[in-house]
Amino acid sequence: MGDQPTSQEFHLPLAQITQTPLDCSLRYLDFSGDYARLGLEYHGAAPFEDTTSCALAPPAREAAAVTAPWCVTMLAPAARLAQVQQLLTFFAGHGWAVSAVDTLAQRRERTVIRFQLDAELEFAAAKHTCLQLAEKLDVDLVLQPGSSQRVPALAGFDMDSTLIDAEVIDELAKITGIGEQVAAITEAAMRGELDFRQSFRKRMALLRGFSERRLAEIATQLPLKDGADKLLGGLRALGCKTAILSGGFTYFADYLRRERLPVDFIHANQLEFEHGALTGGVIEPIVDGMRKRELLQQMAEEQGLELERVIAVGDGANDIPMLNLGALGIAIHPKPKVRLEAPQSIERFGLDAALYLFGLSDQQIENLI
C-alpha cells in the first residue's frame, strides 16, 4: 500500500505552480479566472501546502472557447509537473500572459494541455524558441494563432510517409533489387537536397519493366501511418473535405480511397504502362511541391473557401509550400528541414494528435469516432 501514489487536485493561483521544488506526475491543468485546477499523482509529501484540494476530477467534455490571439499546445507522452513549471516560466520570461489553460487529453500515455496566450509575438521567432524548449522538455509544443483553433473545411494530405508508413517508390525499388540506390535519391529529395522533379524522373527510369500485377500486390500491403484512419474519419464526421496531394502515384492513392481511408479528392502522379509493365517514363505534370500548393489553393477557390479554413499535413521538403499556405501547416514526424520551416509540427504522436489543434478534447474525439 505504501507504494501507491496519492492522487489529488489542488486549487491555487497559476503563478504558484512554479514555486515547489517537488516533481511528480501531472494528470491535468485547467485555468480560467483567478485559480487553477491542478491534478497530480505523487509519493510522500504534498507538492503544495495551504491550498484547497480534493479528489481528481474527470476530464472536461469540451474545451473552453478560444479568445486569446495565440495558443501553445503541449503534447507529452507522460507529463510531469516540472515540464509545466518550465513552460510557465518560459511564458513569463517572454512576457506572454497565460489567460486560460485547458487539458484536452489526460491519459497515462498522453497528456495534452492547451495554453491561451495574450501576447504580441513574431510567429517565426516564437515558433523556433518553442521548438528549442520542446527538445529540452521532451514534448511537442505547437504554436498557432488562436483563430486557427477550429475545425478546417478543407485538409490536404501528403501520402507517402504521411498517410502511409512507407515511400512507395522505395518499396518498388527494393523488389527490383535497387532499393538502396532509389532510397538514397528519395531521402535526398525529402531533405530538400535534390530538386523533386529531377529526382522523380531519375527514380522512375530505374523502375522500367516493373509489372502492374506486382503493383496490385504491394497496394494491399502498405501500412497506414498511426492515427491516419482516426484523423480522416474524424474530419469526415466534422464535415471537412480531404484531399491527397502526393508526389507518389494515383494508383496507390486510389486504392487508399477505395479500401482504407475516407478521402474526397486525389491529385498525384500517373504511372505509364506498356504491355503490363512500367515504361520508366513520366506523365506530366509532375506533382511537386509547388504543384501541391497550387492544387490546394485551387480546390479552396472552387469550394468558395478562404485560406483560413484550409490546412495541410505532410512530412517532406516537397510539402513545405503547401504547409505554408493555409491556417495550419502540420508536419508529422518531419525531416529536420521541414520541422524548421513548417508552421506546426508533431513528432511524438500519430496523425490523430492533429485533432487537438482544432480545439477538440478526447471526449469530443471519441464521440466522433
Q: For 170-200, what is each residue's pLDDT tens digit?
A: 888 788 887 788 778 878 877 778 778 888 8
CB atoms inside a 10 Å sphere around CB 220:
9
Whether residue 354 sits in one domain with residue 278: yes
Ranges of the chain whose pLDDT falls below 70: 1-2
- Domain-terminating residue out of 116, 148, 180: 148
Say how many domains are in the chain.
2
Residue 349 lies in a domain: yes
Predicted local distance difference test score (pLDDT) of residue 1: 45
Q: For 101-153, what is each residue's pLDDT tens digit?
A: 999 999 989 999 999 999 999 999 999 999 999 999 999 999 999 999 999 99
The enclosing domain of 326 has a CATH number of: 3.40.50.1000
Whether residue 83 sits in one domain with residue 64: yes
Whether residue 190 sits in one domain with residue 70: no
The enclosing domain of 83 has a CATH number of: 3.30.70.260
d(CA 336, CA 64): 34
Please tell me whether residue 109 adopts helix, strand or coil conformation.
coil
Whether residue 138 sits in one domain with residue 110: yes
- Domain-terminating residue out of 119, 148, 177: 148
Backbone angles phi, psi at 264, to 5 degrees: -95, -40
Backbone angles phi, psi at 241, to 5 degrees: -80, 145
- Domain-terminating residue out of 148, 168, 188: 148
Whether residue 260 sits in one domain with residue 309: yes
Residue 119 lies in a domain: yes
Whether residue 229 sits in one domain with residue 134: no
Active site residue 160: yes
Whether residue 294 sits in one domain with residue 270: yes
Residue 1 lies in a domain: no
d(CA 76, CA 349): 9
CB atoms inside a 10 Å sphere around CB 115:
25
Q: 30, 158, 319, 362: which one is catalytic? A: 158
Predicted local distance difference test score (pLDDT) of residue 204: 84
Whether residue 348 sits in one domain with residue 206: yes
Q: What percent of the chain has pLDDT over 90?
A: 73
Furthest C-alpha separation in the chain: 80
Q: Is 1 exposed, middle or buried (0-12, 13-18, 19+ CB in 10 A)?
A: exposed
Whether residue 159 sits in one domain with residue 81: no
The residues, any chain, with a CB within 8 Å of residue 164's CB and separated by 6 or more, are 222, 223, 224, 225, 228, 252, 256
Q: 140, 160, 170, 352: which one is catalytic? A: 160
Whether residue 251 sits in one domain with residue 196: yes
Domain that holds residue 100: 6-148
Q: What is the pTM of this model?
A: 0.92
